């Protein structure tokens, strides 16, 4: 699956610690949405957070989904919709429970889109669904081969893209029409106010498809593009990649205007403020960052989470390798909810036995005891081989010295 396989490429670097009263996400930030004068963010830590941008503080944290939250969208009536790895779609009001839950997808939901025409979802079960919110039922649209990663309404029609590298338009009778074929899996899809579509994929190329079907490349880079955002007037386009770059282009000419100087970590989500002057980005560093879209000046993150302080006397080489793990795991039992379970006293612990953590079905079986040898095996053969069916990203440590150093570090840091 695209998102999981993309995580193989991630290489995390430490960030300066900034004191803060309220921590944000405990894992990469996957999606952003505007909710009136508030900002919503969602992440791999299974949480949706509602922020007050004026104060930079979180006002509400929603933990309902049983898995990473991959997508957010705001309905025309102002309600928030979330969807994710648990294949469920939730529509939120002011309460602590969803006002409505939409079920039917058999695999993770990767994308959402909303318009007066309805709510659409894209999922890794190969389908697109167009939902009738009055009845909670959906028209199932089939035609893609493989994961469907994104949907968008443009020019009065629903469009979708995914792993098969095609851009499809759906007729009112549910028939798919292939508008373009790109030859590579596509990760992101965005509708512009003039009815044009922006589409981006694993080959690092961003294409503009006009309403009449004409195509041209706006951006080409060495890393997969996973985040797209356009200003409300459609004159500015933000392009984010797993390499950490965020480029701003002027439209329709496609001229590079600015390159945002961020932490160099993968950017999974981007969103312009309603006035078009502020750009929000979310990424692997667990932060929601603010940028001045006029000059690319950083305005600082919302509620930046303090990094774990360096631990004196621990294996320095192993600490460097550990950086690829700390976005989702903590070494402390009191670090708060994160995308993965904490690793405190992991050695001697049975797989899937940490109280309070929602393990995948595979890990919950608990047929492995974690030791330096079994953890090393996990990162040698890969989680997808050792524990098939796990939600853990596919990561391996191919260098024997790096792996040995990581085990020394974990033995020291998790006691």
Choose among 158, 156, 46: nearest CA to 112: 158
Among 16-25, 173-182, 404-413, the least confident range: 16-25
**Would you say residue 85 has pLDDT above 80?**
yes
Tokens 């150093």 sit on residue: 405
Q: Outline where DSSP puts E strands in 286-374.
A: 288-292, 297-302
pLDDT at residue 339 is higher than 70: no
Per-residue pLDDT, 327? 63
- Per CATH, the number for 21-302 is 2.130.10.10
- Our measurement of the distance from residue 169's CA atom to the centroid of its chain's CA atoms, rounded to an integer in Å, reads 24
Q: In b/e form, how buried is each residue of 183-220, taking b as 16+ CB within 10 angstroms? A: eebbbbbbbbeebbbbbbbbbbbbbbbeeeeeeeebbe
Distances (CA, A) of 53 to 17, 301, 302: 21, 10, 8
Asked if residue 19 has pLDDT above 80, the reply is no
Residue ranges matching CATH 1.10.760.10 in the chain: 316-413
Q: How far apart (Å, rounded) are the C-alpha atoms in residues 69 and 101?
A: 14
Angle in degrees, 0-180, between the axes of helices 400-413 and 372-381, rounded to the nearest 10 = 140
Q: Which fold has domain 316-413?
A: Cytochrome Bc1 Complex; Chain D, domain 2 (1.10.760)
Residue 167: DSSP 8-state: E
Q: Mapping DSSP to helix (H, G, I), strand (E, B) and coil, where does residue 321 land?
A: helix
Range list for CATH 2.130.10.10 in the chain:
21-302
Higher-pLDDT residue of 103 and 11 is: 103
* pLDDT for the residue 357: 78
pLDDT in tens, 226-245: 999 999 999 999 999 988 88
């Amino acid at each position: 699956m695209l998102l999981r396989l993309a995580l193989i490429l991630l290489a995390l670097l430490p960030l300066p610690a900034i004191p803060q009263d309220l921590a944000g996400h405990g894992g990469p930030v996957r999606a952003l949405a505007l909710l009136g004068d508030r900002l919503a963010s969602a992440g791999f830590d299974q949480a949706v957070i509602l922020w007050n941008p004026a104060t930079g503080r979180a006002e509400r944290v929603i933990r309902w989904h049983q898995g990473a939250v991959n997508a957010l969208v705001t309905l025309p009536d102002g309600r928030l919709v979330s969807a994710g790895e648990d294949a469920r779609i939730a529509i939120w009001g002011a309460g602590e429970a969803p006002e409505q839950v939409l079920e039917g997808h058999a695999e993770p939901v990767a994308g959402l889109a909303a318009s007066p025409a309805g709510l659409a979802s894209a999922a890794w079960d190969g389908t697109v669904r167009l939902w009738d919110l009055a009845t909670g039922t959906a028209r199932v649209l089939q035609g893609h081969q493989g994961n469907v990663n994104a949907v968008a309404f443009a020019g009065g029609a629903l469009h979708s893209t995914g792993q098969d590298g095609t851009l499809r338009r759906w007729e009112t009778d549910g028939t798919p029409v292939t508008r373009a074929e790109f030859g590579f899996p596509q990760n992101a899809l965005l509708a512009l106010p003039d009815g044009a579509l922006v589409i981006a994929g694993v080959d690092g190329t961003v294409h503009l498809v006009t309403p009449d079907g004409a195509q041209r490349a706006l951006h080409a880079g060495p890393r997969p593009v996973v985040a797209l955002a356009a200003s409300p007037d459609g004159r500015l386009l933000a392009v984010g990649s797993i390499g950490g770059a965020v480029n701003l282009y002027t439209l329709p000419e496609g001229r590079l205007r600015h390159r945002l100087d961020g932490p160099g970590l993968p950017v999974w989500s981007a969103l312009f403020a309603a006035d078009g002057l502020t750009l929000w980005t979310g990424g692997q560093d667990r932060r929601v960052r603010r940028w001045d879209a006029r000059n690319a000046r950083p305005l600082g993150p919302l509620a930046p989470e303090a990094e774990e302080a360096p631990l004196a006397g621990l294996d320095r080489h192993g600490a460097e390798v550990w950086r690829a793990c700390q976005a989702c795991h903590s070494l402390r039992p009191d670090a708060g909810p994160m995308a993965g379970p904490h690793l405190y006293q992991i050695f001697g612990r049975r797989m899937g036995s940490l109280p309070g953590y929602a393990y995948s079905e595979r890990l919950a079986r608990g047929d492995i005891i974690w030791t330096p040898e079994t953890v090393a095996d996990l990162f040698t053969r890969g989680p997808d081989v050792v524990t098939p069916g796990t939600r853990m990203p596919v990561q391996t440590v191919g260098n024997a010295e790096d792996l040995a150093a990581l085990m020394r570090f974990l033995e020291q840091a998790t006691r």
